[in-house]
């Protein structure tokens, strides 16, 4: 039987929705190429993991900057890859991990055991939980885990006997394990889609922005609103909503006194006065949605917009770039934040901020 083997590595690793590894790896490769960094992107279909490995480890910090988690669309989180440990024995996985970490000379203030959001990855969740306490204890004793150090060590289990050692500086990766914010479905909400908007507020905006941009008394339009999951998130923040959809809205939402149900075509409807928010979850061709949103923003009909681009096609990254390009052409100063959220399926969510 072969013993544990540690292989140092330098690169980036991201977690994504299973089935989108190609898009996630493509993003890493494109950004690395734009920064003139040599290496190779890797994606194994269905794994929920994509990576980029450097030819020259000296380019590590340039790569980290070029592939910042906040700027990636298909990554739920991103870490620096430092190495892999294989052939971990089931009777003691901690000792070889500790030995590898000694070799890397890492010091961190937090440890997170991770697994991918794939069929194989989810099977490792029990092992990840079980390993956390003993590994934490061992790292503390060894001085690797120390409150005065900075950053987080992410130990990504890819099999029962294999772990990838990854690190992230403070604030450089998603703060949630696996990059997945755990949100509970509110029982009063009319549809599970409500979690998409809640997650978008959490992931695409910081706390200060949420406080300033989601204030009671603001006005919003929700295109494709029925049955009202997104409207519900706005109403819960005391925002008035024109809910545009020919379909039925949840009666309790209409009773709130904050919702006007407009039975109209979302592509034709325009509000009498500019609104603070336009949100849009209509199932339509992404470029039609992008054109509509570009019009609203360019005509000053809304200050901020949050919308879904559905991506049932093969060339998903190309379609996203085309749609974001349409918005940038219409408003050269626009700020766009786009992400495939955990609650997004074959789609991404975009926050568009027009600058006055
Ligand atoms: C995915 S559902 C929206 C779910 C909603 N965001 C929620 O949280 O409950 C899409 C909605 O878009 C509506 N829709 C599609 N095309 C539309 C159009 N042209 N005008 C208005 N609504 C449209 C459909 O009737 C459907 O209710």
Q: What is the pLDDT of residues 174-189, one digit of tens each?
A: 999 999 999 999 999 9
Model confidence band, residue 209 (pLDDT cutoffs 50, 70, 90): very high
pLDDT of residue 313: 86
Which protein residue's CA is at the shortest distance from atom 7 of ligand 1? Answer: 229
Hey, what long-range contacts does 169-177 have (CB within 8 A, 24 or more apart)?
169/64, 172/64, 172/68, 172/69, 172/78, 173/69, 173/77, 173/78, 173/79, 174/69, 174/76, 174/77, 174/203, 176/77, 177/112, 177/114
pLDDT in tens, 72-117: 999 999 999 999 999 999 999 999 999 999 999 999 999 999 999 9
Mutate to test the pocket of ligand 1, among 189, 282, 346, 347 (most ligand atoms within 8 A of CB): 282
pLDDT for position 233: 98
Rounded to the nearest integer, the mean pLDDT of the chain is: 97
Q: Whose CA is closest to atom 14 on ligand 1?
A: 224
- For ligand 1, atom 8, name the residue with the nearest CA: 229
Alpha carbon distances (Å) from 162 to 83, 94, 114, 221, 241: 11, 12, 12, 49, 50
pLDDT surpasses 70 at 356: no
SS (H, E, C) 128-188: HHHHHHHHHHHHHHCCCECCCCCCEEEEEEEECCEEEEEEECCCCCCCCHHHCCCCCCCCC
Q: How far apart are CA 140 and CA 123, in angstroms?
A: 27
What separation in Å is there between the alpha carbon of 282 and the centre of ligand 1? 4
Summarize the confidence of residues 24-30 as an average pLDDT: 98
pLDDT-based confidence at residue 15 (cuts at 50, 70, 90): very high
- Whether the predicted pLDDT of 213 surpasses 80: yes
Which among 237, 241, 236 has a CA at the least distance from the CA of 223? 241
pLDDT at residue 212 greater than cutoff 70: yes
Q: Choose the residue to mutate in 197, 245, 292 for probing ligand 1, maximizing ligand atoms within 8 Å of C-beta.
A: 245
Domains of the chain: 5-177 (3.30.70.2810), 194-353 (3.40.50.150)
- The token pair at 123 is 């099977």
Pairwise CA distance, residues 197 & 171, whole Å: 23
- At residue 50 the predicted structure's pLDDT band, cuts being 50, 70 and 90, is very high
- Please give the average per-residue pLDDT across 187-195, as a whole number: 96
Q: Cα angle at 279 between 275 and 284, to 5 degrees?
A: 130
Beta 152-159 vs 162-168: how paired, if at all?
Answer: antiparallel
**Percent share of the chain, pLDDT over 70:** 99
Shortest-distance atom of ligand 1 to CA 228: 9
pLDDT for position 355: 75
Amino acid 275: pLDDT:
98
pLDDT at residue 274, rounded to an integer: 97
What residues are annotated to the active site? 310
For residue 347 and ligand 1, the question of a CB distance below 6 A is answered with no
pLDDT tens-digit readout, 221-239: 999 999 999 999 999 999 9
- Ligand 1, residue 282: give the atom nearest the CA: 12
Ligand 1 centre and the CA of 116: distance in Å? 32
Tens digits of per-residue pLDDT, 122-138? 999 999 999 999 999 99
State if residue 279 touches ligand 1 by the CB under 6 angstroms criterion.
no
- Best residue for ligand 1 mutational test, from 197, 224, 262 (most atoms within 8 Å of Cβ): 224
Q: Cβ(289) to ligand 1 under 6 A?
A: no
Q: Average pLDDT, stretch 1-19? A: 95
């Amino acid at each position: 039987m072969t013993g544990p083997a540690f292989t140092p590595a330098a690169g980036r690793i991201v977690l994504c929705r299973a089935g989108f590894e190609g898009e996630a790896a493509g993003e890493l490769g494109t950004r690395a190429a734009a920064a003139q960094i040599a290496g190779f992107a890797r994606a194994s279909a269905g794994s929920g993991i994509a990576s980029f490995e450097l030819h020259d480890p000296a380019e590590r910090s340039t790569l980290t900057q070029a592939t910042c988690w906040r700027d990636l669309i298909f990554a739920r989180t991103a870490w620096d890859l430092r190495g892999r440990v294989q052939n971990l024995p089931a009777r003691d996985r901690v000792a070889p991990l500790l030995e590898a970490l000694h070799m890397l000379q890492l010091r961190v203030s937090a440890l997170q055991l991770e697994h991918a959001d794939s069929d194989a990855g989810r099977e490792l969740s029990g092992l990840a939980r079980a390993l956390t306490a003993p590994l934490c204890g061992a790292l503390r004793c060894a001085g690797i885990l120390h409150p005065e150090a900075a950053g987080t060590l992410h130990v990504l289990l890819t099999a029962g006997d294999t772990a990838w050692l990854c690190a992230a500086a403070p604030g450089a990766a998603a703060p949630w394990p696996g990059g997945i914010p755990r949100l509970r479905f509110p029982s009063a909400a009319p549809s599970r889609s409500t979690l998409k908007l809640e997650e978008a507020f959490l992931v695409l905006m910081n706390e200060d922005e949420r406080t300033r941009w989601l204030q009671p008394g603001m006005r919003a339009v929700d295109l494709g609103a029925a049955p009202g999951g997104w409207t519900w998130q706005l109403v819960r923040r005391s925002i008035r909503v024109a809910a545009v959809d020919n379909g039925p809205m949840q009666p309790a939402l209409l009773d709130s006194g904050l919702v006007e149900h407009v039975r109209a075509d979302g592509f034709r409807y325009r509000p009498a006065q500019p609104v603070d928010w336009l949100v849009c979850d209509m199932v339509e061709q992404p470029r039609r949605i992008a054109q509509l949103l570009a019009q609203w923003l360019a005509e000053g009909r809304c200050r901020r917009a949050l919308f879904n681009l559905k991506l049932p096609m093969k060339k998903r990254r190309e379609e996203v770039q085309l749609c974001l390009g349409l918005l940038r052409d219409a408003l050269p100063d626009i700020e766009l934040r786009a992400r495939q959220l955990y609650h997004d399926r074959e789609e991404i969510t975009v926050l568009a901020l027009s600058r006055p």
